[in-house]
Chain A
Amino acid sequence: MLTIRAIWSRRGRSLTLFLSGTLVVAGCFGSVAYARLSDISPAVASALLLLGVVALASQAASSVDLRRGEIGLAQLRGRTGPRLLWSAVAEPVVILLVATAAGIGLGWLVTDAVAARWLAAGVTFSPGWPEWAAAGVVFAVGVLVVVMASWRTTYETMLDKLVGQRRPRRARTGLLFLQVCVLVGAIVTIYQARQAGPRHIDWVSLLSPALLGLACGLVALWLMRVLAALAAKTRAGNRLNWFVTTRRLFRRADSAAVLPVMIAAAVLAAVAANAWVAADAWRQDTAKLAVGAPISYPVRSGALSAYTASRYADPSGRWLMSAAAFPDPTGGSYRRVFVDPSRWQQVVGDFYAGTAAGTIAHRLAAFPQSAALQTVTGDSVSMVASKDRIFTKKHDGVPVERYRARAAVSIFYVDDKGVLASVDLPPHGHDNQSPAGPGLVRSTARLTDCHRGCVLTELQFTGAAPQRSPMSITELRFAGQNLLGSGSLAPAIHPDTGVHVQRADGALRIWTDAFFSFYGYGSTGQIGTWPLNRPVAALTTEQPKLDKVGGKESVYGIDGSEQPVSVVGTVPVLPFVGSQGALIDIRQALVGEGTTASGAHVVVLARADTPASVRQRLLATGVVGTPTTYQAALLKSRQQTTAQGVRLYLFIALFAAVLALLTAIAAAADQIGGRRQEAASLRSVGLSARGISRSYRREALALAVAVAAASLAAGWFACRALLGALPLVDAGRFGLALDTAPRFVLIVPLAVGAGVVVAVVVAIAFRRIGRTSAPASLRQDLQ
């Protein structure tokens, strides 16, 4: 009862201690809980725990300090040992106990709300031992600080405890030791974090931002005192308007005691904000590069299917574009992606604007303007060729067939479904043959699955003919296109096959060397093949350099074979690819390569505003699956463990900021009594109330500048040193590099904000003291 009455009698100090305790317990409890639910190391809460311990220690010690007189009186009344210690610690311990209970409740509520908002559906929170342990540690550390401060007070001289006039206290060895520990700890943890890297982060590394902030705060505090001491010796510092301010800044630590916690909170906030922005920008870029466009339809039937489906569903080229991405078949990180550059600007447009691959569009202008790939559609093939000629000999006076001169062609193509197919002319059984002129016959055959666009891959001649009487193919129509009229058809007969093909008058003349050594269908040779083995245009990343095959740079083509490329430019990052790979013209690469090697990620990309009719038409082709959107990919990326970790870090920074604010308020509140006395003393010797208020405003300004400058420097350094060492993203093998450069647009407002908070708290707390502290209050009966 006595304790409760005592708490009430010092309700201002009790309230700030209670609020700080509640906040630290809630923050640690919630952080650990969120970390557990997100499968993150609970060590991430260590930074908040450290700041919380520092803030609670300062407030608990201050609470004990206020009660030095009571402790002295208790000693005078004969209390000793545990009874004396209990009478000294009872009040702050009860406050901490209630604060711990309240903090657990608040942390529970916050975790519940946050889990529902940010974690996957179905994740429910029930506290486990790590959360209870976190709350217990905060309480235990708070009690330990209180006990130590009280124990120390009991050993002070009775005069120090009971005298009304406060004596200055020299920095103790223990405090100096702790300050040195903070400085050394900051250096060690930063080194440890940088050495360990994001994949091996531990609690020591996670402490580094908070320790760095505290260390910079201590340095700022010392620097400010030194500068104030120097200023006091100058003429300006000796003028009446700066006289009190400079002396206060270098002689009294109380006004600047909040610097370390405030700067540490600002540093934590700077690191968290930079981490969040950097990681989220990376996620957006990565999601864009991964999805490729606002909408992405997966295609299972190969690159040609995607190509033809996109052109079939969107002949205008405004909405759809095909793409195929291939991992490195050697197990490396070199990716190659085939895209349709003629549709890039229309379909992808400024989707990559602002990303690392934002400048890619104009580089694609270096690709050929027209497509090399010619697809055909139709349902039949036909050939006009010499009729079979039969050479006979008499056997028992009966002529029997000895040799047959004939010509046949097998046409290989990739159909609508991405399947390699072939058709023979004349078909087996010589069906569908009809006369086509003197000595000529027309053969026809059905062509299947060539409705949206097929691509020829190879023509093979099969047959035999004597040189004196070669066979002729005068017409070869594939889906309505006469291949013999195409300039791209070129005989490519290996000399050892003994097959000769001659192009003459729009026809092919074919004979074989060893006609008489064969019976029947003797020789086979290619008379036309695609691809033509021309280099295809490619944009590559700067590293690594492409391999050279036969003196030419090459990559693995769509079908997995070596494909010579003509590099039109190099860039740091490519869409789909990341930082290592090549972007290749699919229109060239597909020529004669209709089959797609396994492991490909083939898609049809669509603009966000693609009309429903175009989408329906695309879906109707039957080759595309359920689309993925950029937003869905980004959302998925934001659910990753690393994203939750960064979010948790923001959460912790928010708690640290509120804690710093409470600490600043508590520190200011502690000083009000002394300031009133000081102001009254100054007024009694002739200083005006306005002048005293100005002095306090200058002090607030000096503190604000110190906090802002130190926060800016420390925030910049922390981001530069630590962002790369924190596990912010899952970059993976093909990942973009995370941009860990400090963002001044975030650091400056946070630093200025911290300074403004200090200035506002000090200004508000001491605003009226000059006017309200009349010299008449300096009476013994009012002290």
Chain B
Amino acid sequence: MSNERFGTGSFASDSDRSGDPRTNGKRDGGNERTTTHKLVGEGLAVGYPTTDEPVVECETVVLPEGEVTALVGPNGSGKSTLLKAMANQLSPADGRILLDGESVQTLDSKTLAQELGLLSQENESPGSLTVEDLAYHGRYPHRGFFDSLSDDDHAAVDRAIGLAGVEHLRDKEMSNLSGGQKQLAWIAMVLAQDTDLLLLDEPTTFLDLHHQLRVMEVVRTLNHEEGVTVGIVLHDIGQAARFADNLVAMKDGGLYDWGPPADVVTEELLADVFRVDASVDASVDGESATGPHIAPHRAIEE
């Protein structure tokens, strides 16, 4: 389904592995009315204050509106860095990031937080904070300095707690929750922010399988039922292939390939990017319930 929205077969099966989605985007725009791009990064060079060289450099990266885009790649490939830059947590040394056509750097921080929710990789909260209290913090960008809680705030928090499936934990203190429950509570907080765009940095890492799937199902529900655009960094390419409409594969701080999972997830990609000798089951395509099957065999020697 998502295949078509992107201008079928325009790039992913190309032998050219540079995977420049900008040219693709232009082609899309020229040919037919396609999905608009919620968040676009152009000519990005992103580094940290402590590094001289940029950690991530990429021509164009795009999160299409109303779709789930997963950023995948090995450790140190720069996917989290890219996500932080897209969320304006890191200012890029070069390039710009456009949210609905407006540069995120010029947006007021509260206005940005009303449009874009971000869940960082590791989060710590005071132990005595309850799940409900945490969710109410998600309303921060919607409240002025002197505003007390409005009915909108209560409704948004109730909805977020329901969506994240933590109703039964509502009055529990964070220090009494398991890692997976904590993560769902944090997700309730970002959901309470009530944004059209959600960026999640490795929300499933360190969770058991049950909670990994819970988190991903919340993401999918949010996307399908509320049309929220999602950008998500995932460690597990199988999971990414299963839940995402598009994959952005990163390698050494650059974009390796971009497109629907069925096109991107290939044995070649697994060898080149992940340095894993694996077979991809072509008989199970990206539209099946569990996504393309990847069977890793062994790590490829350096």
Asked whether A and B interact, the reply is: no
**A residues at B contact (CB < 8 Å):** none
**B residues at A contact (CB < 8 Å):** none
